[in-house]
Amino acid sequence: MNWTDYYLAKRTEPLHPLFDILEPLLPSPGLAYDLGCGQGKATLWLADKGWDVVAVDQEPEGLQELQDRLPPESKVELIRSPMESVVLNPCDLVLMNFSWFFVPEPGFSQIGAQWQAAIRPGGLWMGQILGPEDSWVERGYTTRTRAEVEALFERWKLHHLEEVCRAGKTVTGDSKHWHVFHVLAQRC
Ligand SMILES: C[S@@+](CC[C@H](N)C(=O)[O-])C[C@H]1O[C@@H](n2cnc3c(N)ncnc32)[C@H](O)[C@@H]1O
């Protein structure tokens, strides 16, 4: 997929409103993964707060932009790889903002099992999960029903679970039907 237009449109946008909910819940800086980091705006936000961040994306373009914008003192590792091939170390935060659903099965479940195990008790997961009524289903992206999303976080504290199911637009202005779960959860 060509992400150039997406990165361009996102460059000047503020972070998603979920980050406002995340910020007061952040533990003291530890290790975070930004999986499907794109141009790394979330990585930069965390690095600025003193976090060690591993930023992963399979496309070089966004990673290059991130590399160019990283202050020299940042503790950020960039990995160009499919996220499902990365081995996660024990960590305090995993971000999968608008990225996890691009991973087809069995990789989707494999990386899901990894972050469920890697996040330390008290650590956080934040991202989006696509629902079955989303129009991108025809592209083969991976979806979960609301019941499946709730089951995934059964033993987690859900700080935010918002289901959006409505006509809308993509970041680059194309019409689409969104069915997406915005999730912010904390491992108990
Ligand atoms: C919609 S963008 C989101 C980027 C960023 N997280 C954000 O919120 O702006 C999706 C990103 O996921 C990356 N991506 C898609 N499938 C991936 C995979 N299997 N492994 C790693 N990155 C992937 C794409 O290259 C793209 O940069």
For the stretch 71-104, pLDDT in tens is: 999 999 999 999 999 999 999 999 999 999 999 9
| pLDDT above 80 (res 33) | yes
What is the reported pLDDT for 9? 92
CB of 96 closer than 6 angstroms to any ligand 1 atom: no
Nearest CA to ligand 1 atom 23: 36
Q: Which CATH number fits domain 17-187: 3.40.920.10, 3.40.50.150, 2.60.120.10, 3.10.20.90?
A: 3.40.50.150
Of 80, 68, 66, 113, the residue nearest 94 (C-alpha)? 113
Mean pLDDT of the chain: 97
CB of 45 closer than 6 angstroms to any ligand 1 atom: no
What is the reported pLDDT for 1? 73
What is the reported pLDDT for 104? 98
Domain boundaries, the chain: 17-187
Angle between helices 41-48 and 60-69 (to 10 degrees): 30
In the structure, what pLDDT confidence band is assigned to residue 162 with cuts at 50, 70 and 90? very high
What ligand 1 atom has the least distance to the C-alpha of 16? 8
CB of 98 closer than 6 angstroms to any ligand 1 atom: yes
Measured CA to CA, the distance from residue 153 to residue 139 in angstroms comes to 26
What ligand 1 atom has the least distance to the C-alpha of 37? 6
- Tell me the average pLDDT across 112-122: 98
CB of 97 closer than 6 angstroms to any ligand 1 atom: yes
For 12, the token pair is 């000047």
CB of 94 closer than 8 Å to CB of 122: no
Q: 171-184: per-residue pLDDT in tens?
A: 999 999 999 999 99
CB of 96 closer than 8 Å to CB of 36: yes
What is the reported pLDDT for 50? 98
Measured CA to CA, the distance from residue 95 to residue 139 in angstroms comes to 23
CB atoms within 10 A of CB 139: 10
* pTM for this predicted structure: 0.98
CB atoms within 10 A of CB 17: 11
- Tell me the average pLDDT across 101-126: 98
How far, rounded to the nearest angstrom, does the alpha carbon of residue 167 sit from its chain's CA centroid? Answer: 22
CB of 3 closer than 6 angstroms to any ligand 1 atom: yes
